[in-house]
Amino acid sequence: MSNYNIKHFEEYFQIYRKSVRDPELFWEEIAEEHFIWRKRWDKVLSWDFNKPEIKWFEGSKLNITENCIDRHLRTKGDKTAILFEPNDPNSPAEHITYKKLHERVCRMSNVLKEQGVSKGDRVCIYLPMIPELAVATLACARIGAIHSVVFAGFSSTALATRINDSDCKIVITSDGSYRGGKTIDLKGIVDEALTHCNGVSTTLVVNRIGSDVEMKEGRDKWLQPLLDSASLQFEPEIMDAEDPLFILYTSGSTGKPKGMVHSTAGYMVYAAYTFKNIFNYKEQDVYWCTADIGWITGHSYIVYGPLANGATTVMFEGVPSYPDFGRFWQIVEKHKVTQLYTAPTAIRALAKENIEFVENYDLSSLRVLGTVGEPINEEAWHWYNDNVGKKKSPIVDTWWQTETGGIMISPIPFCTPTKPTYATLPFPGIQPALMDENGEEIKGNQVDGRLCIKYPWPSIARTIWGDHQRYKDTYFSAFKNMYFTGDGALRDEVGYYRITGRVDDVIIVSGHNLGTAPIEDAINEHPAVAESAIVGFPHDIKGNALYGYVILKESGESRDHDNLRKEINQIITEHIGPIAKLDKIQFVNGLPKTRSGKIMRRILRKIAGKDTANLGDTSTLLNPEVVQEIMDNVL
């Protein structure tokens, strides 16, 4: 029996049991058989969740791009590695073969080297979903630099914070980007960000939209001429297993974003193994994940997981609504996509449109459907299953996080019977636990609690860049000897897991994690604002939307509230990005607080969600009278 290819449900259980009985042997067998190592490991795993310190395949040497590109050259050199579908449906798609990808990554590696980037340096990549984004990411990995990809929808302030936090010396960007019928001035955003970043010596600029941008003498360089004169060969830097591969920022409930650090060997093994099984990957497949490479889903399941398996991975530059709401389905038909991996928020948005957008296209190539990023509601699950999968393509509802590096709980298609809204069972090697508020594990089935993981897996993030203490406090302090996910979950009568949502102050809006504190900090910068509190409330398409309660310094009818709302959202857009804008803003005279001065968000959440039948005990509040007033004026 090969552990690498799980074929039926009984086999899943056997493999799962083995992975728990002897995790080291289990992962060693997988690592040994499916990757190229320049030197074998001395030790499979050493770990201590108290320090916390986790090391996988210690002593081994490798380069992940050799595994993702070079080793496929002989057998699959002419196979498409990246299939690029541009924003404009009338522009031709680009098929980048493994040979071509090798060439492009080598050229980019040489350019980065010439620009003074060396092993261990941090490179910020702020690009739209164009091939250069994948190429730059891989080139960093090839030269041993640590990439920090920042989603190109983030504002200049958010970009500057990320550049400074990890001390990036170079930024790779483009003149602009296409987004449906609009263009966005990316270079302008970078210029603005760099007025706050002293450490950046160079920006490399891709010409994507042909706009007339300002190039700062000595700092800004067009990328293409440098690539044109670069060599086609670049020997990969040989890395240690635990050398950082990348930093990716994720929002915390408080403070600045956390730069999650992923290491090389364990991440590679886990991304590859999960991709193979959770997407039932076969050699002829055309796999499409609609995420952006700026998020972890794109890192693991557009770039590293698929390429490590020699797959064809689609990169789509555009949006689901352009030129119309049939775009996803048109792409599936055009490229005969076999696996589609997307987010509940996209499914809900498309489900609202005329069903003809779906029915106009031939979706018969689809074999597996995936969803990620937030709980999928029952209605959206059925719509996806009935109209896209035609009830024959299993849906893999994949639960995982930026911190976990790869999918943790998910059905395995054609093995695990699916159940709407359930992520079902842990992947081999993953040992979940539900915990109660006293720190005790809740055993048995039909229970719910806080979701933790008891044992390390290869792709767990190793630290937060520059702040190991915060890593420990956030993930390893709530429950002894456990990794705490921040999510709540329930386990049904057969042991299937359903993720119920965050139990901290992170709110997931359209699949994006947003911390309440940074948004509140932004709002509080408005000169008229005294204090604010943000909560999530249920939204048909976004899953959650943001509701802000704002206390003004001077209240009174004279203020133009609509204008203030616009200004507040403008400040949020500047500090974080448009994804963090508030749907509703209620001006209040006070916020419900505990006697120690903590805002009672639980009450505010219920009011925003119009679920006030059971507000719980408000008598312990410092100011119970404000609750009625807020309820009377709820939007």
- DSSP per-residue letters across 494-511: TS-EEEEEESSSEEEETT
- Asked if 432 touches ligand WTA (CB under 6 A), the answer is no
Other Cβ atoms closer than 10 A to 297: 24
In whole angstroms, the minimum distance from the beta carbon of 470 to ligand WTA comes to 16
Among 165, 175, 487, 505, binds ligand WTA (CB under 6 A): 487
**CA distance linking residue 623 with residue 73, whole number of Å:** 69
**What would the x/- binding string for ligand WTA be over residues 170 to 199, using CB under 6 A?**
------------------------------
Residue number, 60 or 339, with CB nearest to ligand WTA? 339
Other Cβ atoms closer than 10 A to 620: 10
Closest C-alpha among 521, 489, 490, 519 to residue 506: 519
In whole angstroms, the minimum distance from the beta carbon of 498 to ligand WTA comes to 8
- Asked if 397 touches ligand WTA (CB under 6 A), the answer is yes
In whole angstroms, the minimum distance from the beta carbon of 402 to ligand WTA comes to 3
Number of shown-chain residues binding ligand WTA (CB under 6 A): 22
**CA distance linking residue 484 with residue 482, whole number of Å:** 6
Residue number, 426 or 486, with CB nearest to ligand WTA? 486
Among 80, 155, 174, 398, binds ligand WTA (CB under 6 A): 398
Among positions 399-418, residues that touch ligand WTA (CB under 6 A) are 399-402
- Asked if 459 touches ligand WTA (CB under 6 A), the answer is no
Q: Kindly give the pairing relationship between strand 80-85 and strand 312-316.
A: parallel
In whole angstroms, the minimum distance from the beta carbon of 320 to ligand WTA comes to 18
In whole angstroms, the minimum distance from the beta carbon of 370 to ligand WTA comes to 9
Among positions 212-271, residues that touch ligand WTA (CB under 6 A) are 250
In whole angstroms, the minimum distance from the beta carbon of 128 to ligand WTA comes to 19
- Asked if 535 touches ligand WTA (CB under 6 A), the answer is no
Residue number, 31 or 289, with CB nearest to ligand WTA? 289
Q: Is 23 helix (H, G, I), strand (E, B) or coil?
A: helix
- Show the DSSP H helices in 206-264 as ranges: 223-228
Please name the helix (run of DSSP H) or strand (run of DSSP E) that holds residue 138, with its range, or none. Answer: helix 131-143
In whole angstroms, the minimum distance from the beta carbon of 509 to ligand WTA comes to 11
Other Cβ atoms closer than 10 A to 145: 26
- Asked if 324 and 353 touch (Cβ cutoff 8 Å), the reply is no
**What would the x/- binding string for ligand WTA be over residues 319 to 358, using CB under 6 A?**
----------------------------------------
Among 85, 220, 237, 374, binds ligand WTA (CB under 6 A): 374
- Asked if 54 touches ligand WTA (CB under 6 A), the answer is no
Which token pair is 121?
A: 């340096």
**CA distance linking residue 438 with residue 454, whole number of Å:** 17
- Asked if 450 touches ligand WTA (CB under 6 A), the answer is no
**CA distance linking residue 580 with residue 165, whole number of Å:** 21
Interface region with ligand WTA, contact rule CB under 6 A, candidates 135-143, 358-366, 369-377, 537-545: 369-377
Residue number, 374 or 520, with CB nearest to ligand WTA? 374
In whole angstroms, the minimum distance from the beta carbon of 21 to ligand WTA comes to 27
- Please, which contacts does 595-604 make with residues 24 or more away whose CB atoms are closer than 8 Å? 595/620, 595/621, 595/622, 597/622, 599/533, 601/505, 601/516, 601/533, 601/535, 603/627, 604/533, 604/535, 604/547, 604/549, 604/630
If you search the block for the tokens 């698929």, which residue do you land on? 306
**What would the x/- binding string for ligand WTA be over residues 507 to 526, using CB under 6 A?**
-x----x-------------
**CA distance linking residue 312 with residue 95, whole number of Å:** 9
Among positions 279-318, residues that touch ligand WTA (CB under 6 A) are 295-297
**CA distance linking residue 424 with residue 20, whole number of Å:** 17
- Asked if 96 touches ligand WTA (CB under 6 A), the answer is no
Interface region with ligand WTA, contact rule CB under 6 A, candidates 94-102, 485-493, 548-556, 596-604: 485-493
Closest C-alpha among 369, 368, 495 to residue 422: 495
Residue number, 188 or 420, with CB nearest to ligand WTA? 420
Please name the helix (run of DSSP H) or strand (run of DSSP E) that holds residue 143, with its range, or none. Answer: helix 131-143
Residue number, 178 or 381, with CB nearest to ligand WTA? 381
Residue number, 243 or 374, with CB nearest to ligand WTA? 374
Residue number, 355 or 447, with CB nearest to ligand WTA? 447
In whole angstroms, the minimum distance from the beta carbon of 511 to ligand WTA comes to 7
Please, what is the end-to-end C-alpha distance for the chain in angstroms?
59
Interface region with ligand WTA, contact rule CB under 6 A, candidates 189-197, 265-273, 461-469, 483-491: 483-491
Cβ contacts of 449 within 8 Å, gap of 6 or more: 434, 435, 436, 442, 488, 489, 490
In whole angstroms, the minimum distance from the beta carbon of 367 to ligand WTA comes to 20
Residue number, 430 or 585, with CB nearest to ligand WTA? 430
Cβ contacts of 281 within 8 Å, gap of 6 or more: 275, 287, 306, 309, 311, 339
Other Cβ atoms closer than 10 A to 23: 19
In whole angstroms, the minimum distance from the beta carbon of 132 to ligand WTA comes to 23
Closest C-alpha among 458, 459, 442 to residue 450: 442
Cβ contacts of 405 within 8 Å, gap of 6 or more: 262, 266, 267, 270, 271, 296, 300, 458, 459, 460, 461
Residue number, 433 or 499, with CB nearest to ligand WTA? 499
- Asked if 505 touches ligand WTA (CB under 6 A), the answer is no
If you search the block for the tokens 């299939």, which residue do you land on? 83
Residue number, 345 or 401, with CB nearest to ligand WTA? 401
Residues in touch with ligand WTA (CB under 6 A): 250, 295-297, 372-375, 397-402, 423, 485-487, 499, 502, 508, 513
